[in-house]
Structure 1
């Protein structure tokens, strides 16, 4: 079912399926993302309540992966101090409505996707500091038996096989190298959005060769843990004045990887992915992030081996950013895209 076909009776029925004693009064579609997300106002036995309803309608998202999100909200909310919405109810399967879907608390805060520079310096520092603490708390949930994707099997959270049938960190990393470099050679992950599909074709094979060589030299990874690989401003709600992170969102499609890989992906999102203006403070903010993470982990430190692995993971993340440029900079001017291209080329040139 497309989001255009999700009308008031459908939303009312989905709310009732999650909470039988709630009645929908109104809803407002959130025009962001690939799933159906709506802010809803409901009459409940305890008075009016505002909440958020989300239904997975993106064809690329497997239902067994999407079903994990409300369960992860519950796990993380119960076991950590990471701010996540309270879950009011969820439905894994439904004969009439697009499923899975869930109903959660509406949290306060603002989304600063693509505009973190609008935050005051102290507020932005708080976002970064809390990011380090939140990732540490997630990783402290404990070691997991193998790498993979977090989904639901037989009604419970489970580690599902990867898209590449890889059963180790190194194998999964190598498979990701080929996937990303193939995308660069074919005109990036989003050729339909690419005004210059050949933008990075000349770098595809040199990057593949370099990354595979570095992958072969990686030291042994740590045991895998739950990883929120898409921890970025677009998945955070933030108090615009204080910088407090009031909610960490988008827990669908979580992975189980080594922590250093997760830290590299988050650093890439927070400091590099969109060429965000850090006011020349990228190194300072990165140190703040790492110090916050390290201080929140028990008996853990950034050893030289971990830093070396992160450097290789960051190069791979940069390659992914290049492959995602058409989508991430969809509304940018040709000049802005050219500037970002030059920044990417200058970054990877150091390794080729």
Structure 2
């Protein structure tokens, strides 16, 4: 098994790393979209996340690694209660662009059907991703029929397969993480709206930063194990922050004053619907939990405002500034003292 590039070894790209950590603490955030130039560490950051995540409790032998204490479980686990429990890694599953629908949703197990004459279900990528992360590189190039499928499953948290005499229903709750280069095509609005946070990454301009990135990448390619060991302590510290953040999340309440500020900000920038406010609230609370803060403050709100709102703004033909600039301008007007 190849050694992933350590998350802590990624130079810069603070907004992207924060968004990924927030999604690890609060899955209800709705996923993370990372758009930007090629070669800026988008897929590296996501794949490095797998090594950071704490293990989770699951029903032993379950193909969907159901939560033994969860409400949404598969039919097999429902019959097994009380079930034997094991700790398993949180799945981080890649969905290739060329994947067939059968590979994604699951299909008839042909080996058992032909060899034993038994109609059995072979779980797909959505089953493997349950309670974890589903990663799609070049998500803006994903075929339309798979986009429709993902939208349905993301909304319901359940995968339903009815084909070839099979009728299967199983939990499929995952954090959707997508990356891509916007120059190669835009994302469909229906799928874009499903992402909680949207991050923009750009090629670094500082010479010292570029040199450090090249040096680290070269060291990793020469000896991945030795390079990973250099950052093992930093990655372990990040893992502890995630664990503590998950514990603190339930204890943190968002004050009404912060909620009102979030609503005013969404109104000021013209955010569509109310998902902006919900995402701001959840992201600010997760950022506070990650910091170990006692309360959610305006500072946390400002920290997550751009990734939570930039993909929800209506286009204004009279305003040529980017969405992030519009958000920063609105923040300056709302948060700074009159």
Fold conserved (TM > 0.5)? no
- Greater RCO between the two (CA within 8 Å, min separation 6)? 2
Bigger helix fraction? 2
Provide TM-score, normalisation by structure 2: 0.24
